[in-house]
Amino acid sequence: MLEDNRGWWDKLRRPSARYSVLTLLAIGFVAGVVALGGFLGELKATAQESFCISCHEMRENVYEEYKNTAHFSNKSGVRATCADCHLAEDLLPKMARKVAASREVFHKIMGTINTKEKFEEHRLTMAKRVWEGMKANDSRECRSCHDGKSMDYSKQSRRAREQHIKGDNEGLTCIECHKGIAHRLPDMREIDPSAVIIVQ
- Read off the DSSP letter of residue 109: H
**Domain with 96 in it:** 55-195
The reply to whether 182 falls in a domain is yes
CA nearest neighbour of 87 among 99, 79, 77: 99
- Whether residue 22 lies inside any domain: the answer is no
| CA angle at 114 for the pair 113 and 120, rounded to the nearest 5° | 45
Residue 112 within any structural domain of the chain: yes
Predicted local confidence at residue 187, as pLDDT: 83
Beta bridge partners of 178: 198
Question: Does residue 19 sit within a domain?
Answer: no
In a domain, 190, yes or no: yes
Distances (CA, A) of 38 to 11, 43, 45: 30, 9, 10
Taking residue 195's Cβ as centre, other Cβ atoms within 10 Å add up to 8
What pLDDT was estimated at residue 199? 45
Confidence at residue 14, expressed as pLDDT on a 0 to 100 scale: 67
Q: What is the pLDDT of residue 24?
A: 83
Quick check: is 13 in a domain? no
Q: Low-confidence residues of the chain, pLDDT below 70? A: 1-16, 191-200
The pLDDT of residue 110 is: 92
Per-residue CA distances from 188 to 86, 136, 183, 192, 200 (Å) = 21, 21, 14, 8, 15
Total domain count for the chain? Answer: 1
Whether 7 maps to a domain, the answer reads no
Q: What is the pTM of this model?
A: 0.75
Residue at 172 is within a domain: yes
| DSSP string for residues in 55-107 | SHHIIIIIHHHHTTSTTTS-TT-----HHHHHS-SSHHHHHHHHHHTHHHHHH
Residue 172, judged by CB atoms within 10 A of its CB (0-12, 13-18, 19+), counts as middle
